[in-house]
Structure 1
């Protein structure tokens, strides 16, 4: 009888030990993860460079190698739509995206409203502050978390037809746009003929004359080589182009609290360094492209602003719950106009 009891106790102890060991392995498994980061930036673009030099280095070092970072630039894991979907599904752990989110989350159109931000510091205060957090909550049902936002820059227009000295020079220019409701409406209102193309097809389309022009931040166009096949650039700054550092929520929840803190801090530091780099290099890029023979113009922006302002009113009418957020953004702008 005693032997039976001893045997039962031994079996119970073995089972308990097995459970404890399994539990430890599960906890340890949280510490072993590889984060694939997909994006469309060129290898030598500042965004890719800072993710290699800052984000990757900090995360791998501060987690003692328990979190590995693999970065896939230049659309290696597909175009933006593909890796946006990949992050939602979890087939891609992280991505650096533009504003394609506006196609499924209309609140993200706020950031794409024309002339919404007065400068980089204003945009940063909004998108990496309390206002941005209100907007990012609308993305959570898609199983995606925003870690930080960085600037691609303010969008400017380039084309091969003619220099744009005023809004009257626009009609007849075929303009590439991405698949976003706001940018398509904006360009149509300004008078462009719009053609939707993914960014992966843009260089060839400009080279072959499928489209005459495109709009992107100066750095994006410069590092992707678009100015090699363009003649004219107009500094319109008509739309702020945000980038987002996003992570799949299931992946995020598998991380320990310490790992989450390290990754989030690394994302914020990387975003800040990108902002400073983008701000500081714009004059240098303008100088370089002028030296290449590109004509740079500075049209009067007031007619542009007046022409597209109904877009904001139309948006608020369709999404009245966003009016208070837009009001906050405009009120905050006063602090950056001083």
Structure 2
């Protein structure tokens, strides 16, 4: 009996050494976002996935899911914490997760992308990112959603008073709600995936978004007026759930992080190109476009800055620093 067992063990060992090792499947990472095809979210996420999949071929495969397939922004953040989604690209909603992100909800805070780069270096990474990690999330890179403008079906908006009584959809971030309440509108947070129907049916009169989101979601089909307010510049963030992310090999994490930051240049260049191209397309689609009195909006925004500084005292020095970086 012992002789038989010895023979079987020897045969198994020989087979193990002679057979080729089974190919290991790459780690699949799910990246979710709310952007429609053609949006800056979709273009950024797909570019990132392409570069990572080339660099980590056989080790990691990022699969992107746009159009809220894996949920809206709040759901995606919850799924990151649970580990059921690996990556997401939220924007405004982060101010409801970490109060300090509200600095990016303040009207006319960010002057341009060069100003944003300075804010990112001197405000975001030292203060906001560590606060994010305390919530079980980690930011790999700061990307972009863009400059936001107001659309509606009632009338051109030139000064804040023109917004009085508007049923206005806003993202799921409390400071955007407060901003438009200050301007006299009746803002309501709503998932982006529900917006087209709400505008089409008259549940909402208008909304505010960057050109990339307006055009890719075909909002020009259900909105008549486009007012170039540029009231907020919204960064976007490539986010991961901290616990699950830290289980990945260190060399994989390094590539994921380095590539995320490397893609920022692509994001900014693409967003800048889209700004001029998409405005032309929105005009061609029949939208009536008008300039706004930005000084009137800035004057009407003082209360929002004051309320935010009172509500989030730790943000006051960050606001002062961010403003100084724009001078």
TM-score (norm 2): 0.88
Deviations 1:62-113 (A, max 9, x none): 1232011111111111111111110111111111111212213111111111
- The residue that corresponds to 2:200 in the other structure is 207
Are residues 1:131 and 2:152 paired? no
Q: Is the 8 A contact 1:120 1:279 kept in 2?
A: no
Return structure 1 stretches of 4+ with deviation > 4 angstroms: none
Q: 2:31 aligns with which of 18, 26, 37?
A: 37
Equivalents in 2 of 1:108, 1:168: separation in Å? 27
CA contact (8 A) 1:120 1:151 kept: no
Are the aligned partners of 2:182 and 2:304 in contact in 1 as well (CA < 8 Å)?
A: no
Q: Which secondary structure state, in structure 2, belongs to the residue aligned with residue 333 of structure 1?
A: coil
Deviation at 1:249, TM superposition (A): 1.1
Aligned to 1:333: 326
The equivalent position to 1:177 in structure 2, one of 170, 179, 196, is 170
Match of 1:47 among 41, 56, 59: 41
Q: Structure 1, residues 295-335: CA drift from partner, whole Å, max 9, x if none?
A: 1111111111111112112211232222221111111111x
How much has 1:125 moved relative to structure 2? 2.9
CA contact (8 A) 2:136 2:243 kept: yes
Decide whether the 8 Å contact of 2:160 with 2:300 is kept in 1.
no
2:272 corresponds, among 260, 275, 279, to 279
* Contact preservation (8 Å) 1:93, 1:248: yes
Q: How does 1:121-200 map to 2 (within 5 A)?
A: 121-127=114-120, 129-133=121-125, 134-200=127-193
The 1:322/1:167 distance shift into structure 2, 3 A limit, reads closer
The answer (yes or no) to whether the contact 2:52–2:61 under 8 Å persists in 1 is yes
- CA displacement at 1:32 relative to structure 2: 4.7
Query: Within 2, Cα distance between the matches of 1:283 and 1:116?
Result: 22
Kindly indicate whether the alpha-carbon contact (under 8 Å) linking 1:167 and 1:299 is maintained by their aligned counterparts in 2. Answer: no
Q: C-alpha separation between the residues in 2 aligned to 1:49 and 1:184?
A: 28
1:239 to 223, 232, 237: 232
**Pairwise CA RMSD:** 1.7
Write the distance in 1 (CA, Å) between the matches of 2:190 and 2:45: 27
The equivalent of 1:82 in structure 2 is: 75
Q: Aligned match of 2:259 in 255, 258, 266?
A: 266
Give the structure with the larger helix fraction: 1
Scaled by the length of structure 1, the TM-score of the pair is 0.86
Among 41, 45, 49, the alignment partner of 1:56 is 49
1:206 Cα deviation from its structure 2 partner? 0.3
Could you say if the C-alpha distance between residues 51 and 180 of structure 1 is closer, same or farther in structure 2, counting changes exceeding 3 Å? closer
